[in-house]
Amino acid sequence: MAKTATERKQEQRQRDKLEEQERLARLLSRRIKLDLYKATDAALLRIMERTGIDEEQDIITRLIHCADQLDDEGLAAITSLSRRSVTE
């Protein structure tokens, strides 16, 4: 018996969902759950506003890649911020 348009569309959605899951499985290394304190969230929002980037995942990814390109001295400089400057 021939399938209805609804049945074909449901099967297509299932295939598309599987393809997306397979694509993510190939691309993703891991997921990170991130809890942000208010000051850190505010800083993230300011960075997003200043750069015009409106997705948290996008800006965090870009920051990670930029930090990775720093030399050891530059990386040490941004990771050794005093506790006081981080919480203000």
Q: What is the pLDDT of residues 66-78, one digit of tens each?
A: 999 999 999 999 9
The pair of three-digit structure tokens given for residue 23, joined into one six-digit string: 């694509």
Burial 13-34 (b: 16+ CB within 10 A, else e): eeeeeeeeeeeeeeeeeeeeee
The pLDDT assigned to 34 comes to: 92
Each residue's pLDDT tens digit, 28-86: 888 899 999 999 999 999 999 999 999 999 999 999 999 999 999 999 999 887 555 55
Asked whether the whole model's pTM tops 0.75, one would answer no
CB count in 10 Å sphere of residue 38: 8
Boundaries of every domain in the chain: 5-87
The pLDDT assigned to 88 comes to: 53
d(CA 4, CA 67): 53
